[in-house]
Structure 1
Amino acid sequence: MMLSRRECEKILKNAQNSAGKSKLMDYTVVRDLSAIGYLGDYYVLTISYCYEEDEVVRDIKLFVKAMPQQSAELAKEEIFQKEAWLYDTLLRKMQTFSKIKWSADCVYTRNDLMVLEDIKLKGFKAAGSTELNEGHMQQLIKSVASFHAASLIYELQTKTNIGQTYGDHLQEITVASEIAWFTTGLSAVLAATRSLPQYQGNRELAFIDNELLSILGEIYEQVAPSKKYRNVLCHRDLWAGNIFFPPEKTGPALLIDFQTCRYTPPALDLSFSLYMNLGSRDRKKMEMKCIDLYHKHLIQNLSDFGLKELVIAKSELLESFEEFRLFGVVYRAVAATVVKVPTEFVTNDFKYVDRSNVILSYMKTNHEFRTYMEECCVDVMEMALARASM
């Protein structure tokens, strides 16, 4: 059995948080095949219990995320444990410095599993598409601002610097020069950019061959704590699949999957959210509105705790966002080489060795993919040219 009776008694107590004395009657753990994730196997835990005073049997359903059975990858174990640690320590404390709920309650963790409230039972749903509409973006921004504000308040109240104190726990897992899925993706983006008809002039080709990669490589510095801007705990993976929306249309979204968390300027989450969830046209239209809204919510969340003076200046936010656009642009292009192709393409060889040829030939045969990839590559090229002339 995955969980012992004693553990379930503990889980029941944590989940109820109530004064009433409850007695565990029974529990079952069933695999949930509707939830799909790279870093976990999912289960539904049903606990039957009753209160001593009335003997009525009640049920509580919880969501269990467990270490994947067939994974012997050491990296995956470390990543899983990073998230379990976050839920158990930082996120739980930070959520108390927030009047807005941005994360599901975690009631129990072990090195190999986490037990969380089942947010779907409360009517939370994923967006159902990879691009978000304006309403969804507003709900997301509300939660992100609240999450970041909680980070600022946590540091003040506990007199800790998250980056210094917990740096070992917040390791980089997706974007680094030694992380193969990313570097292989970067090479494929370069090859795709080089293949576009608008970049066949000698000047453009020379730029792509000699300068582009080192400019894009600046992204590696952007995922580390900044010496120039203020840092907060950032989620760093806010694409549509990691955001759940409440049944009411304006309530804050819930963020899930915290394993990519880093201590960086908030502009990193803003850049990621805008570039990963919107097409270029919609992003340009909504960008400033989203940043203004973020700043407004940040002030509001800090004011709720009488700490408005902790706010990050609007000028710093705008300046850092311009700098961290690079992250959004490059990440979107690299991610497209994996998430926008058929899953059967994504073999280990494709992921970790080379995917350029597959990407180039798929661009020739699939119009929709070509259009998306071209949009990503043009954004990359324009951003790189602008940075080169700075």
Structure 2
Amino acid sequence: MTQYRVLLSHLATLHATSIAWERAESFSIGERYREMLFELMLSSENDWFITSIKAIVYLAAQHEQLQHEKYQHFIANKLYEKLLKTETLVQPTERMCNVFCHRDASNFNIFFAKHDAERCCLVDFGLSTYSTPAHDIHFMLYMNSTQTTRQLLYQEFIKWYFDALQAKFAELGIPATELSWQEFQADCKRASLVALIISCLCLPIHLLPSKLMATVRSQQAQKFDYWLNVDRRELLDMAMAQDPAYKAKIMALIKELMEQLLASEAQES
């Protein structure tokens, strides 16, 4: 729990200071650095993204708990197109404040101080974007926690972040009204679906069994590149056959995503 709080506080500092910088110089980070802060991960021109979408569809189609007609119809006819539009969900908005987002705060890019639990460092800003703060914190939560942890502690997590953000606002002379609790809660609802989609794109690769990863990288390097950027089915089948725990984690994510997408579609109709 302490590490989550430290990370959320660090993200709050990053976000608040980006607003303070914009206010001090009367400019928009998104406009000034438009050519640098473009969406890379979720672009339809990114082969990795397209391959990841196809992998989600493949996993969903064979999920034992998603064989009901309503799921299979959605998977066969709507899932791919829904996922392809994810990029539109992370664009800057005029509804509330936008901030500089790290957008890759997975465990690979987080380093905690050895002798100080209150200190950590975020590295690798290669996927940074300009968007609402909820996208950044939800990416961190979904990439670094289980569904059970989120269900138990989600409200505590977002309240901790919001309080840390408001404290940093006060310190930097930013009005508390820059982002209200009501605005933030509404944005969290939108961002949670995007973060779940991104975790389903990334975690089937990030969580691959270590022995399998070592083998394919050393003995099948070219094939591994093919699996990453063209067709991932063979790799996923091998991983799930070798490691039931891996299969359970990935399939739990896929089921969570399908339930959220269907719930969202029901609300829209």
| Fold-level similarity (TM above 0.5) | yes
What amino acid sits opposite 2:164 in the alignment?
A: H
1:225 aligned onto 2:92 = yes
Any residues of structure 2 matched to 1:1-390 within 5 Å, and which?
A: 134-309=1-176, 311-341=178-208, 342-343=212-213, 344-345=215-216, 347-390=224-267
**Counterpart contact for 1:184–1:354, Cα < 8 Å:** yes
After TM superposition, where is structure 1 displaced by more than 6 Å over at least 4 residues in a row? Answer: none
Q: Which amino acid aligns with 2:240?
A: M
Q: Greater relative contact order: 1 or 2 (C-alpha under 8 angstroms, separation 6 or more)?
A: 2
Which stretch shows the higher mean deviation, 308-317 or 186-195?
A: 308-317
Uncovered stretches (5+) of structure 2, i.e. residues with no partner: 218-223
Over 3 Å counting, the alpha-carbon distance change for 1:308 and 1:194 in structure 2 is same
| Rounded Cα–Cα distance in structure 1 between residues aligned with 2:94 and 2:85 | 15
Letter in 1 for 2:78: E
Residue 111 of structure 2: SS of its match in structure 1?
strand
Larger Rg, first or second structure (1 or 2): 1
Q: 2: distance between equivalents of 1:284 and 1:300?
A: 26
TM-score (normalised: structure 1): 0.63
Q: CA deviation at 1:350?
A: 0.6
1:304-352, Cα deviation, whole Å (9 max, x unpaired): 1222345311111111111111221111111122222232446111111
Tell me which protein shows more strand as a share of its residues. 1
- Do the aligned partners of 2:66 and 2:255 also contact (CA within 8 Å) in 1? no
CA distance in 1 between partners of 2:246 and 2:197 (Å)? 17
Partners of 1:310 and 1:160 in 2: CA distance: 19
Return the alpha-carbon distance in structure 2 between the equivalents of residues 316 and 203 of structure 1.
33
Please give the per-residue CA displacement for 1:59-109, whole angstroms capped at 9, x wherever unaligned: xxxxxxxxxxxxxxxxxxxxxxxxxxxxxxxxxxxxxxxxxxxxxxxxxxx
Q: 1:374 to 1:284 in 2, by over 3 A?
A: same
* Structure 1 spans left out of the alignment, 5+ residues: 1-133
Counterparts of 1:165 and 1:176, CA distance in 2: 21
> Is the 1:215–1:387 contact (alpha carbons within 8 Å) kept by the matching residues of 2?
no
Contact 2:96 2:179 in 1 (8 A): no
Q: CA deviation at 1:383?
A: 1.1
Amino acid at match of 1:379: E
- CA distance in 2 between counterparts of 1:207 and 1:303 reads 47
**Cα distance in 1, alignment partners of residues 49 and 22 from structure 2:** 32
Residue in structure 2 matched with residue 3 of structure 1 by the alignment: none
Which shows bigger deviation, 306-315 or 228-237? 306-315
> What letter is aligned with 2:96?
Y
- 1:227/1:214 CA distance change after superposition, 3 Å: farther
Give SS of 2:100's match: strand
What's the CA shift for 1:278?
0.3
RMSD across aligned positions (CA): 1.6
Aligned residue pairs total: 257
Report the CA distance between 1:253 and its aligned residue.
2.3
Deviation at 1:214, TM superposition (A): 2.4
Instruction: Say if 2:53 and 2:84, in contact at 8 Å, map to a contact too.
Output: no
- Please state how far the C-alpha of 1:249 moved relative to its aligned partner: 4.6
2:39 partner SS: coil
Identity of aligned residues (%): 25
CA distance in 1, matches of 2:88, 2:80: 14
